[in-house]
């Protein structure tokens, strides 16, 4: 890939895109979209302050959390890697390396990519990759005030595969953000929460300064408990009151009067025992 590819403010890479939406650059086909955003008085997407508080019958850390986490840590996750995720991962690694392989930040589940932009602005000496499974979200025209940072890219991929591919490739993160993931608050939905998913050990093994945020305190308590179970890292959990929200959901939750929570941990990288299929 030529140098011009990496000069865009934001590149969205996806191989799971209808043919009529694709462009071909230098013999390679991918869904790509560059975003300079609309210059607007605000810096986030407009969202109405009408978010309802999370309702659930679960009022404590899930009784099965520890056993689920232990089982996932002891069992190899053998789900096959889909080809479009592998291709998107490889292309994103080429883009990162072409930018000098700066310290790497992963914005996991970045949505419209607003947080990715903010992180790139906050850490100008790093390279930020925002990953989301929705091409529609990634292609939305996000409002941004002023000029965009150039040290980031957006990737359309499934995080379950992307995390495992990073781990297998020996990628070591400087920072890792999981901002307002779907909480799946029903008591029977533990396996859908990231800390209850089989990919969680591989996710933690990427190392770096890890931070998860949510408007559900119990999600953060569970995440912190799972990290403590699998690592020797010190995990802090606290109420979070950002002055300037960096995601549309963070803005919406604050405006709706929700309490926000986060847990943070400095994780040590762990080598992959085997490569995913």
Give the model confidence (pLDDT) of 159-179 as tens digits: 999 999 999 999 999 999 999
pLDDT value at position 228? 97
Please report which confidence band the pLDDT of residue 49 belongs to, taking 50, 70 and 90 as the band edges: low
Domains of the chain: 3-40+63-267 (3.40.50.150)
Instruction: Measure the CA–CA gap between 108 and 119, rounded to whole angstroms.
Output: 12
Contact between 10 and 34 under an 8 Å Cβ cutoff? The reply is yes
Structure-block tokens of residue 203? 């996710």
Distances (CA, A) of 66 to 6, 63, 131, 167: 43, 7, 28, 23
pLDDT value at position 264? 98
Lowest-confidence pick of 58-72, 123-137, 141-155:
141-155
Instruction: Measure the CA–CA gap between 166 and 202, rounded to whole angstroms.
Output: 9
Beta-bridge mates of residue 12: 154
Q: Given a cut of 60, is residue 2 above it in pLDDT? A: no
Highest mean pLDDT out of 105-119, 129-143, 247-261: 105-119
Instruction: Measure the CA–CA gap between 231 and 200, rounded to whole angstroms.
Output: 12
Strands 23-25 and 28-30: antiparallel
Structure-block tokens of residue 73? 């840590």
pLDDT value at position 36? 33
Please report which confidence band the pLDDT of residue 5 belongs to, taking 50, 70 and 90 as the band edges: very low
Tell me the average pLDDT across 136-155: 87
Please report which confidence band the pLDDT of residue 143 belongs to, taking 50, 70 and 90 as the band edges: confident
Give the model confidence (pLDDT) of 88-106 as tens digits: 999 999 999 999 999 999 9
Instruction: Measure the CA–CA gap between 237 and 85, rounded to whole angstroms.
Output: 32
- For residue 174, give every residue at least 6 positions away whose Cβ sits within 8 Å of its Cβ, in sequence order, or none: 103, 104, 105, 126, 208, 209
Give the model confidence (pLDDT) of 217-235 as tens digits: 999 999 999 999 999 999 9
pLDDT value at position 144? 83
pLDDT value at position 277? 56
Coil vs helix vs strand at 160:
helix
């Amino acid at each position: 890939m030529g140098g011009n590819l990496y000069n865009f403010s934001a590149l969205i890479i996806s191989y799971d895109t209808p043919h009529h939406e694709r462009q071909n650059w230098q013999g390679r086909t991918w869904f790509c979209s560059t975003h300079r955003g609309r210059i607007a008085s605000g810096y986030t997407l407009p969202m109405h302050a009408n978010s309802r508080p999370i309702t659930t019958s679960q009022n404590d850390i899930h009784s099965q959390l520890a056993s689920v986490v232990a089982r996932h840590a002891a069992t190899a996750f053998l789900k096959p890697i889909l080809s479009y995720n592998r291709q998107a991962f490889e292309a994103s690694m080429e883009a990162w390396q072409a930018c000098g392989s700066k310290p790497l930040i992963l914005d996991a589940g970045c949505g419209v990519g607003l947080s990715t932009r903010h992180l790139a602005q906050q850490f100008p000496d790093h390279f930020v990759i925002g990953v989301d499974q929705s091409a529609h979200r990634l292609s939305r025209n996000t409002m941004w005030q002023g000029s965009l940072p150039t040290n980031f890219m957006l990737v359309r991929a499934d995080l379950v595969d992307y995390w495992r591919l990073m781990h297998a490739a020996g990628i070591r993160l400087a920072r890792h953000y999981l901002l307002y993931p779907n909480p799946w608050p029903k008591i029977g939905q533990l396996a859908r929460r990231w800390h209850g998913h089989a990919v969680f050990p591989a996710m933690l093994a990427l190392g770096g300064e890890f931070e998860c945020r949510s408007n559900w305190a119990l999600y953060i308590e569970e995440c912190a408990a799972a990290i403590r179970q699998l690592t020797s890292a010190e995990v802090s959990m606290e109420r979070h009151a950002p002055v300037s929200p960096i995601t549309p959901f963070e803005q919406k939750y604050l405006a709706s009067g929700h309490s926000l929570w986060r847990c943070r941990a400095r994780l040590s990288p762990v080598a992959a025992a085997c490569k995913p299929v």
